[in-house]
Every structure is written in C-alpha cells, then in structure tokens.
Structure 1
Amino acid sequence: MIVASQLMMVLDASILTTAIPEIGRTLHLSTAVLTWVQNAYILAFGGFLLLGARVGDLFGRRRTFIAGIALFTLASLLAGLAPSASLLLAARTLQGLAAAMATPSALALLSVTFSEARERVKAIAVYSAVSGAGGSVGLIVGGLLTDVISWRAGMFLNVPIGLALLLMVPRYMRETDTKKGHLDIMGALTSVIGMTALAFGFVQAASDGWGAPEVWGSLAFGGVSLAAFIQTESRAKEPITPLRLFVSRARSGAYLGRLLLVCGNYPIFFFVPQFLQNVLHFDSLEAGLAIMPFTAVQFGIMYAMPKLLARFGNAKVLIFGLVIAIAGTSWLSLISASSSYFPDLFLPLIVMGGGAGMIFQPFTTLGLSGVEAKDAGAASGLVNVAHQTGASLGLAVLIAVFEAANRPEVTSGTSFAHAISVSIGGSAIFLTASLVAVLIFLLPADRTQRAVVQMETD
C-alpha cells in the first residue's frame, strides 16, 4: 500500500511530461503557460512538504496519510475533468498539497509496519527503488495513455488506486503516536508564496518581456516573502526549517548544490520530449521510450556507487559525476532542426545518465551529515525541498530563456529547435554553478573531515 501510494505520487511528477504538447494543443496553451502544469504540482509539493511532515507528527501519520490520499484522489479526478487551463492548474496545485501530506507519513508508516530490522531494510529498498524508477515509468505510461486514449487518462489512473488505498489503509495499518506542538503555518506560507512569486516573475518575463511591471513586481514580492520566511523561522518556537541546519558548511553546500543541479537537470525533461515530438515528430510513447537510455545508465551506475564511494569519498565522486553531467548536457545542447535521435540525442543522454547516477546519492548523504537526532526529519525534508524548489525555479528561468530565443519570424521548426538548444545550454550553466558550489563548500569540508579521521587513526 505504501509502495503503491509512493508510486502514484512520483508518477504524477512526470506522467504529464510526454503529454505536454498534447495538453497545449487541447487547451490552446503557450509553452510558457504549460510550465505551470508541472510547476503548480512541484511548488505545492515541495513548499508544503515540511509542514505535511509536521502535521503527521501532531495528528497521527495514518490519519494524515489517509487525508492526503483522499485529497490526491479527488484532485486527480478534477485534473482529468478540467475543461480549462485555470482549473487544471488548480487541480495540480491540490495534488501537490495532497502529496506533501501523504509522502512524509508513508515512510514513517513503513517503519512502523515493518518493525523487524531485516524486513524493514527490504521494505525501504523497495520503497527507494519505486521512488527512483517512478519518474521514468511515468514518462512511458504518460506517453502510452496519451497516444491510446488521452492525456486525461493519466490523471484518471490515480482514482481507482486512491480509492483502493482508502479502503485498505484503515484495515491493515495502525496509527502512530501523536505529539503536542505547534504548526509553523506562517513559515510554510511565506516560503511557498515567495517561490511561487519568483517562478511567476520568470514565466511572465517569458511571455510579456522583462519590461513588464508585473515581472519585476512579482520578483520583488518573491524576494520580500522569502525574507519574511527567514525572519519567521528565526523566531518560530517550532520552525519547519530550523536555521541551525545551515550552520554546517557541508550541509549548506549540499543543499545549494542540489538546488542548482536540479535547476539544470529537471527542465531538460520538459524540453527534450517537446523536441522529440515537435521537431522529430515522435509520438508521445516514442518520446517516453527515447529518454530511457538516460534512466538505464543512471540505474546501472547506481549499483557501482557503494564501491566508488568507499574508495574515493562523497565529494570526489560528486565532482566527477557533475563533470560528466556537464559534458553530456553541453553535448546535448548542440541539437538543431537537422539533428536525428541517433546519435545526436541518444549518445548525450547516455553520458548524462552516467553523470546523474553518481550525483544524487552523495548530495543526499552530505545533506544529512552531522545532523542531530531531533533535526533528522527536518534535514531529510530540506533535501526534498531543495530538489522540488530547484525543479520549479529552474524550469521558470529556462522557459524565459526559451521564449527569448524562439523567433517567430524564423521557420517554426528551426526556431523551436534553436530555442530548445539554447535552453539546454542554460541547463549546462546551472550544472556548472552546482559544481562551483561543491568545489567551494563541500571539497574543503571533505578534506578537513578526512584529515580528522586520519589523525584519529594515527
């Protein structure tokens, strides 16, 4: 049940990716507006994730999990029925909020359900595998449903799964203990409003130009809201984001590096399916399958990670992975209207997959390093928040790059391909910024830690 719920949440982050061109045609949306089909979900999911974990602590994990699944099921039905862009985006926002309630409770319930150590290890392994593979499965399932039925079927798919979970969870899962405490609602709201305003500002710049007053007004409002968030967290009795987590140089570098990495990595899987469908004329299913080389290599490399990390350490493996990812992304940015899938996309995707397979585990480990037990949940949540925030902010920034590079007066296919090429070049810049953050923050911290260990050994 927990694995099924996690698969449903992860699928929804990607199941509409290969359907984006079809959604645009069906609802008559521009490329800039289409980003909100993804961003509405990601911003709500990432923004309320820590608050959702806190709700589970205070009111019970099973109760929170059931409420999240119920809301997610309803929101999925509304998204599938949405007759307009505004209603679709509202439903996607509700999905993100529901996922933020259900996801933190799912892992806690897994630990309670599988109390024996060996069983728990196996259960967590399955949970992690589903979390990792779900995005790739979503690309294929979304493409298949879009081709055979409609993009709406990807949303309707969640309804029977959600209803089945609502029937089974009360019968087979026990409630966790509740705690007394406070909800940092103001902290959650100021962070979500701030990130949404920043994303809106960049997307509006793509459609209205940088001279539009609403662009700078939105960016300024976002900055003020995020400043208010920091002020709120510094004074809150029980903050959802304890600022003491940023005292560590290594953890701060891991959060910043991960955010910048996802800023560059996530938008690629928004742009590449559109290139495949609009330039190379793949159908939705073919576009989903075409990205599988990236995923296959990524998972293959992950099996070798324990040996690599044991020999070289987190920082060195991370640096090497980022260099490979930058090389692959830069290579992919050379695509044009005359490119073919093989070798122009196939080979760069393989290189990028190799780099990606070496990156996320070290970032996660370093983001949780040296955390006290009382802050373990918040630190884990912050890793996920950095990931989701990077996805939404990177997509917003690069869609502005895309619109600036897309020239209607040029032949449409040529202009579209050029704009995607420039956008992927922007992804490479974000990845390079992530590498710089690692070199500045993480590498010195890693050297210091190794020196301390060596002294203790001697």
Structure 2
Amino acid sequence: MSTAAPERPTTIPEPTVTNHAGHPRRWLLLAVLALSQLMVVLDSTIVNIALPDAQTALGMSDGDRTWVVTVYALAFGSLLLLGGRIADYWGRKRSFLVGMVGFAIASGIGGVAESTTQLLIARGLQGAFAALLAPAALAILTLTFPSGTDRIKAFAVFGAIGGGGAAVGLVLGGVLTEYVNWNWCLLVNIPIALVAILAGIPLIRESRAHGNTRYDLPGAILVVAGLASVVFGFSQAESGWGRWETIVPLAVGVVLMTVFVLVEKRATNPLLPLRVITNRIRAGAFLVSALNGTALIGALLFLTFYFQIVLGYTPLQAGVASLPMTATIMVCAPFFSSILPKMGVRLPMTVGPIVASSGLFWLSFITVQGNFVFEVLPGVILLGIGLAAVFVPLQNVALARIDEHDAGVASAAVTATQQIGGSVGAALFTALYASAVSGYLGSHAVSSTAQLEAFVSGYSVVFVWAAGLMLLAAPVSFFLIRPNKADLLAVPAAAHLG
C-alpha cells in the first residue's frame, strides 16, 4: 500500500547569486541606493508642481504641458526591461553610475531649458537614464542583502521611500517653485546625483551576469515598442477611451507584447526569462505592485487637485498636507520589517490593501468646505499604514531567491509594473473624473459653487475606484503570495564576484 507524499509548500526556486553579504559598509551603501530611489520617485511629482510656472515661462500649450509628463513615462516605462538587462550584462555598478550621470545631465538641460522642445528632450533623456538607473540600484540592493533579517530591513527602507517619495516631491516642488523658481525642480537633481556618484564609486561592488550574455535583440525591439505603445495609449485615454489615438496604440501594444511572449518562449537567451514572471509568488507580487501603482496615482494626483483647486492651498501647502501619509509610512516601516521574520509576508500583504482601501474610501467623503482634520487626515493615515504593510515586503518577495543572471531584469520588471500601473491609473481616473464632473454639471444650475461641487464629486468617484482597485490586491496576496519564511531568510548559494 503506497502513501501519497505530502504536498510541499510553494517556494521560490533556488538562485545562484553573488554573495555580497560581507560588505563592510552595506548600510552606507543602502543610503546611497535609497538616495537614487528617492530622486527617481520624487521627480515625477516635483515636476508636476512646477508645470504651471514652466508653462507660463516657456509659452507651452496645454498639450505640450501634458507631454512633459508623458514623455518621461514613455521613455522610462518602455526602456525598463532593456535597462535591466543592460545592467545584468554590462555591470550593475557601471549602469548605476552612468544612469546617475545621465540623469543629472538631463536634469541640467531641463533646468536651463529656454524652449518647450528643450524641456521635452530633457524629460525623455531623464526617463531613459532612469530606466537604466532604477533596475541597477534595485539589483545592487538585492545582491548586497541576499538573505536574512538585514535583507528585510533594507527592503523596508527602499519600499518606504518608494511609497512616500512622491509626497516628498510635492513638498520640495512647492518650496522650490514658491521661493526660487520652477527651474530648480529639475536642477535639484544635480547635487543629489553628485552625492550619490561620489559615495557610490567606492562603496558599490561591481557585479554582472555570467554565462550567456548575448542580447536578445528581437525581444528588446518588441518589448520597447510594445510597452511604449501601451504607455502612450493610456496617456491618450485621458482625452477619451473611444478615440483612435487611444485604441490603436493600445491594440498595437497588446499585439506586440503577445508576440514578445511568444518570442521569449523560444529564445535561447531571452531578454525577460519567463521563469521570472511565471512563478506564482512573483506573479502575485508583480500584480500587487501594478494595483498599488494604479491606486496610488488616484490618491496623490487628485488629492493634490483637491487641495489646490477646491481648498485654495498653495503648492507648498498642498505638499505639506500630503506629508502625514509619508510620515505614517516611515513610522510603520520599521514595525513591519521587525515582524516579517516571525509573521511572514502573507498577512501584512493581505491586510495592508484592506487598510489602504479604507483610507481611500474615507477620502471619498470630502466636501467643498474641506475640514482637513476630519475629512482628510484619517484617510491619509490609514492609507499610509496600508501602504507600509505592502511596500515593506513587496520588493523583497518579488526578488526573493532570484538568480544572479536575472537580478537586473527582474528588478526592472518590478519597477515596470509600478510604472505601467501608474499610467493606467492616470488615464482611468482622469476619464472617470471627467465623466463625473460632466454628469454633475449637467444636472445642476451653473454657478461657482456648483462647479466646485462638481470637482469634489469627480474626486470622490476617483477615490472610490482607487479604493476598489487597492482592495483587489488583498485576495491576490492571500491566494498567490504564500512563500515559506525560508524564502525570505535562507542564505542563498554563493557565486563568483563580478
């Protein structure tokens, strides 16, 4: 009589990684990597604050103003996977430093721009170099903290900055725009990059993939074109989902990404090995990342509109009003990093989206009168708690036990899901907002009060939808993200230094 073998718990495959755990100054290195993460994250919101002044100074049209945001997202989102693979093959340290130098130069070009064309070129270059810098930084972090509780703490810091950096950008952008000028919202990247470069040169150890390092050119062309089409399509959806300018790029993007998957299945050395994304745990983490990226756009972008348009806050006041969420994330991150070794990731990544969703739902009850303490503060605090519970373990889970050969491209995939999610969120929420405002104005007499009430009605609809999307991350985490604690703490096999 045979006995069936007990079902083994789902685990992430064993990796082959470079063991950097002995780095004597790894915590100082973490500070450098965190600084680079902060620069990339805050740059999306700091420029948004500066746009009205930049539009006036450069004589931009409303369409050009939109492109200042779109061209950055287009370059960043479409080049991420290629940037991650370049970091793997060319060297993560080299890619990090070149990405940082390029980002600083592009920021300088944008900061002294005297025409719309110059600013748009600078923003595109920023996105391209960010696509090299971001996955390189995350891959270096993954290899420097390959296992144990130190890894959890390091990813907690990195995740907290990813969650709160956008709000920091709002504050910094408000300060610079009000007290200096809009140009410094770009020029401020230069001293940040200079510090990171000078500190990174002696601190970062070079590492690169070994074995087959031939580039998958068909895959690279397909994924860049496909992701660019998807990001562009969603950016155009803000003006309407039924327009050919929206439908055609999205359809082309879907076709190209489908062909990309088919090519990667047959490639001998694929740009994105499907094992990176088809593992159940990682797939769940990527999906949660995309949902969080989508919902967070609704929280920050439209909450900022509410502060400035309805409540009449200055850019600086709007940024300060967003700080409680960032402060909550920073306070909660150490707590969640301390309990993960004992509790695991499944519970916080399931409860976190529920708490964050309740915060977004609370914000849907805002009014034209706008009592910040009662209508806004509880919502952003709940949102901060929920985001901390998700962001602290998220990247750790997505990159746990990743093979050294794939560290860069896997890191790029994490960032890409957030970037694509943000593009989807911006388009979806703008369309929902516009529909709600039109519906309200169509059923009420036109007046200044009715217009503000229409705006608030639109913001409320956005917050409800954002809450729903955030809530979807809870069942995804519960059913898909079920790693053993060993997946987060086990010491992986050592490989050779790059």
- Using structure 2 for the length normalisation, give the TM-score: 0.76
Q: Does 1:190 align with 2:222?
A: yes
- 1:206 is aligned to 2:238: yes
Residues 238-253 of structure 1: matches in 2 within 5 Å? 238-253=269-284
CA distance in 1, matches of 2:470, 2:121: 31
Q: Does the residue aligned with 2:47 lie in a helix, a strand or coil?
A: coil
Query: What letter corresponds to residue 400 of structure 1 in structure 2?
Result: A
Alpha-carbon distance between aligned partners in 2 of 1:328 and 1:121, rounded to the nearest angstrom = 26
Instruction: Map 1:217-256 onto structure 2 (within 5 A).
Output: 217-256=248-287
Identify the match of residue 414 of structure 1 among 453, 457, 482.
453
Question: Aligned match of 2:476 in 412, 422, 437?
Answer: 437
1:251 aligned partner, one-letter code: R
Structure-1 separation of matches of 2:329 and 2:75: 27
Contact preservation (8 Å) 1:61, 1:109: yes
Q: Any residues of structure 2 matched to 1:252-331 within 5 Å, and which?
A: 252-331=283-362
Q: Distance in 2 between matches of 1:312 and 1:121?
A: 12
CA distance in 2 between partners of 1:40 and 1:163 (Å): 25
On the 8 A contact 1:188/1:240 being kept in 2, the answer is yes
Give, in angstroms, the shift of residue 146 of structure 1.
0.9
Q: 8 Å contact 2:152–2:337 — kept in the other structure?
A: no
What are the superposed Cα offsets for residues 189-235 of structure 1, whole Å, 9 maximum, x if unpaired?
4334333323433443332x344222221221121122122123223
Report the 3-state secondary structure (helix = DSSP H, G, I; strand = E; otherwise coil) of the residue aligned with 2:111.
helix
Q: Which residue identity is paired with 1:428?
A: A
Deviations 1:257-285 (A, max 9, x none): 22112111133212211211111111111
Cα RMSD (Å): 3.7
8 Å CA contact 1:18–1:273 kept in 2: the answer is no
Give the AA of the match of 1:346: L
Partner of 2:3: none
| 2:425 aligned residue (394, 399, 409) | 394
1:376 Cα deviation from its structure 2 partner: 4.2
Counterpart contact for 1:331–1:348, Cα < 8 Å: yes
Secondary structure of 2:49's match?
Answer: coil
Contact 2:219 2:270 in 1 (8 A): yes
More relative contact order, 1 or 2 (CA 8 Å, 6+ apart): 2
Q: Would the alpha carbon gap of residues 434 and 29 (structure 1) be closer, same or farther in structure 2, given more than 3 Å must change?
A: farther
Q: How far apart in 1 are the matches of 2:328 and 2:154?
A: 24
Change (3 A) 1:231 1:86: farther
Query: What is the percent sequence identity of the aligned residues?
Result: 34
| Bigger mean CA deviation after superposition, 168-177 or 399-408 | 168-177
- C-alpha displacement of 1:187: 3.0
Q: Is the 8 A contact 1:206 1:401 kept in 2?
A: no
1:62-103 deviation digits (Å, cap 9, x = unpaired): 443343233212221232244555553432221011122233
Query: 1:404 corresponds to which residue?
Result: 435
Q: CA deviation at 1:136?
A: 3.7
The unaligned stretches of length 5 or more in structure 1 are 451-458
Q: Which residue of 2 aligns with 1:426?
A: 465
Q: Are 1:355 and 2:394 matched, yes or no?
A: no
Pairs within 5 Å for 1:60-99? 60-83=91-114, 87-99=118-130
Quote how far apart the aligned CAs of 1:315 are: 1.5
Distance 2:149 2:456 in 1: 51
Partners of 1:87 and 1:400 lie apart in 2 by 30
Compute the displacement of 1:293 (Å).
0.8
Instruction: Tell me the distance in 1 between the aligned counterparts of 2:272 and 2:284.
Output: 16
Partner Cα distance (1:125, 1:205) in 2:
34
Partners of 1:265 and 1:173 lie apart in 2 by 32
Provide closer, same or farther for how the CA distance between residues 414 and 78 of structure 1 changes in structure 2, counting only shifts above 3 A: farther
State the shift of 1:374 in Å: 4.2
Asked if 1:341 is matched to 2:372, the reply is yes
Q: Is contact 1:18–1:285 with CA below 8 Å preserved after alignment? A: no
CA distance in 2, matches of 1:111, 1:364: 9
